[in-house]
Amino acid sequence: MKILVTGGAGYIGSFMVRKLKSDGHEVMILDNLSCGHKEAVEGFDLKVIDLVTEKEKVFSLFQTEKFDAVVHMASFIQMGESFINPSKYYKNNVIGFLNLLDVMVESNCKKLVLSSSAGVYGNPIKLPVEETDPKNPLNPYGETKYVMERMLEDYDSAYGVKFISLRYFNAAGAALDGSIGEAHPEESHLIPNIIIKALKNEEVEIFGNDYETTDGTCIRDYVHVLDLVDAHALALKSLEEKNESNVYNMGIGRGYSNKEVIQEVERFGNLKVNVKFGPRREGDANALFASNTKIKKVLGWNPKYDLTKIIETAFAWHKLHPNGYQK
């Protein structure tokens, strides 16, 4: 297939394009480089275009390239910032997506895989969370993902856009050889933050140790980025073969508390993490981990990597690239 990956120069996108290429697909990247890195996708066909302000360019690209499918990863992703500046999030994530979907319909490209988020669930009513459980996002970022999912249902009913929405839990880890990895401009994710700070011997702030969990810290499900991109490849295959829309959770089905993650970093890295417990952060769920029964059964997804491998690969990446992609 000929596939466009929006946000392909970002953390997960840089793994996605490699996976698609190695599977024999033709791949192109659309990214405005607001948070992505051209160094992460050297050798790939990168179009620097903004989905919000450059709809005409997006349209021209679709007219010329005639994509078979789109993997839509372009979004702003910081939950905390989305409270301070919700306009930035709705504009980028929702209007950008609206532009993309309209261009797709006009260009008769009607298959899409969406990077959604476990953030659509908010505080779940039960664990592990199933796809049919209530959606109550706790922050504007999660809300944008839920809006995008509902837009897809309407675009499917009205225009026949078939989609697979993948609700990622926490993506983490790096390439097995440490060559590419997580490098968000403002790192808000737990694992890279702990490792980066530990390697510099700096203090790490953990938001809250008074949650209703066994050790008081939040519980999350961490999925290796390599397993995550495998799921997208399966989703694209399923869209190609069955042309049916669906929604799947993507987590390993087990939760780790922040304290457990810290212990694993300390054990693996043979170092001490300097932790400061701060107040809870608005918009954080208590505990969140996935039921992955559906994606395993229907798409045949079989995650290979555990938390130790996530930490091992992330360590290798951060040690080799202390300044991310900057020289």
Ligand X SMILES: NC(=O)c1ccc[n+]([C@@H]2O[C@H](COP(=O)([O-])OP(=O)(O)OC[C@H]3O[C@@H](n4cnc5c(N)ncnc54)[C@H](O)[C@@H]3O)[C@@H](O)[C@H]2O)c1
Positions touching ligand X (CB under 6 A) are: 7, 9-13, 31-36, 50-52, 73-77, 92, 96, 115, 117, 168, 170-171, 184
- Least CB distance to ligand X at residue 79 (A): 10
- Distance between first and last Cα of the chain: 35
CA distance 70 to 66: 11
φ, ψ for residue 139, nearest 5 deg: -150, 160
- Least CB distance to ligand X at residue 179 (A): 16
CA distance 95 to 82: 15
Nearer to ligand X, 92 or 209 (CB): 92
Nearer to ligand X, 24 or 43 (CB): 43
Nearer to ligand X, 52 or 287 (CB): 52
Nearer to ligand X, 56 or 210 (CB): 56
- Least CB distance to ligand X at residue 37 (A): 7
Spatial CA neighbour of 245 closest among 160, 168, 302, 167: 160
Q: CA torsion angle for 319, 195, 34, 278 (degrees, to 10)? A: -160
Which member of 90, 141, 168, 248 is catalytic? 141
Nearer to ligand X, 9 or 290 (CB): 9
> Known catalytic residue: 141?
yes
Q: Find out whether 220 and 255 touch, Cβ atoms under 8 Å.
A: yes
Question: Closest CB to ligand X belongs to which residue?
Answer: 10
Q: In 10 A of CB 63, how many CB atoms?
A: 11
- Least CB distance to ligand X at residue 175 (A): 14
Q: Find out whether 188 and 324 touch, Cβ atoms under 8 Å.
A: no
Residue 59 parent element (H or E)? helix 55-65
Both tokens assigned to 157: 């009913």
Nearer to ligand X, 34 or 214 (CB): 34
Running DSSP on this structure, what letter comes out for residue 128?
S
Tokens 């990214």 locate to 31
- Least CB distance to ligand X at residue 192 (A): 10
CA distance 39 to 262: 30
- Least CB distance to ligand X at residue 35 (A): 4
Spatial strand order of the sheet with 162-168 comes to 45-48, 26-31, 2-6, 69-72, 111-117, 162-168, 246-250
* Catalytically annotated residues: 141
